[in-house]
Amino acid sequence: MALERVGKILKMADEANTSVIAFNCINYDMAYSVVTVAEELKKPVLIMLYPEHQYGFNDTDLRGFAEMVKSLASTVEVPIGLHLDHSSDFAYIIKAIKAGFTSVMFDGSMLPLEENIRLSKKVVEVACNFGVDVEAELGRVGFAADSDEERMDMYTRPEIAAEFCRKTGVTSVAVAIGSAHGVYLETPKLDLKRLEEINQATDIPLVLHGGSGIPNEQLEVAFTKGINKFNVGTEFFQLYYDSIHEYMKAHEREQNVNLLFEMSKYVQEKLMTYLRKKLQLSKF
Ligand SMILES: [Zn+2]
């Protein structure tokens, strides 16, 4: 079927009292694996592109990526959503919308609150005209490499979350409750009480970033307390890298270009094995 509205998938997740999982992808191997396993398990998923992977490394291009995901979605029955991850660049967001992204994240978490509200609202107004959903960030998720104190100062406050949602009209909001981007130095501990309070104060789906390395027991609770979108990047990229590395190492002594053509299949199978397990967390 055609790409599904991300807002609609988040609503389905909310009704099922669970979270959809959003995977950062850079290419066909990754996106194909996600869509194939989603269809196999009949669980909706989101595919995300992180802007820097596009303009910083030329891993893909905006329109090409959007068309690829659209084409993959058209071959399956399960709802597939397409989302642009963290961008604070208004012009880039418009470019992504025009390229076919049906959901975008405006990340104003580094800005003063009033400025974050003003710009998030501006993105919502424009996105609305294109039928595109908007995720914003309130508080600051930050990086796993930052100190705990630094990150705790940035946690989302429930009363501000309520005001933020009311004033901006965003579809969903990413909250800072103890997760972080990158590789955790210690096992993270989500502030589930705060999550519960934010969930009570707001009536839109909440998003958890920094999903690589959070224990499943914590995730399962978070998914029943308002988290309806869960982002996974780091561990998926790591697995992709490790799989290529493993394949090359196994064939180190061979000098045959045909190995290149068989590599995708090998990597896709590794990714799909991981995805079959990971998607069990998403209780659709
Ligand atoms: Zn993030």
All residues at 6 or more sequence positions from 36 whose CB lies less than 8 Å from its CB, including other chains: 268, 272
150 pLDDT exceeds 80?
Answer: no
User: What does DSSP assign to residue 181?
Assistant: B
Name the fold adopted by 6-281. Answer: TIM Barrel (3.20.20)
Q: Is 23 helix (H, G, I), strand (E, B) or coil?
A: strand
Instruction: Report pLDDT for 60.
Output: 87
pLDDT digit string, tens, across residues 197-248: 999 999 999 999 998 999 999 999 999 999 999 999 999 999 999 999 999 9
* Interval between CA 234 and ligand 1 midpoint (Å): 10
| Residue 51: both structure tokens together | 């802007």
Pairwise CA distance, residues 11 & 271, whole Å: 27
* Interval between CA 174 and ligand 1 midpoint (Å): 8
* Interval between CA 20 and ligand 1 midpoint (Å): 15
pLDDT above 90 coverage of the chain, percent: 87
Pairwise CA distance, residues 27 & 5, whole Å: 21
Q: Which residues are catalytic?
A: 85
Instruction: Report pLDDT for 123.
Output: 98
* Interval between CA 86 and ligand 1 midpoint (Å): 6
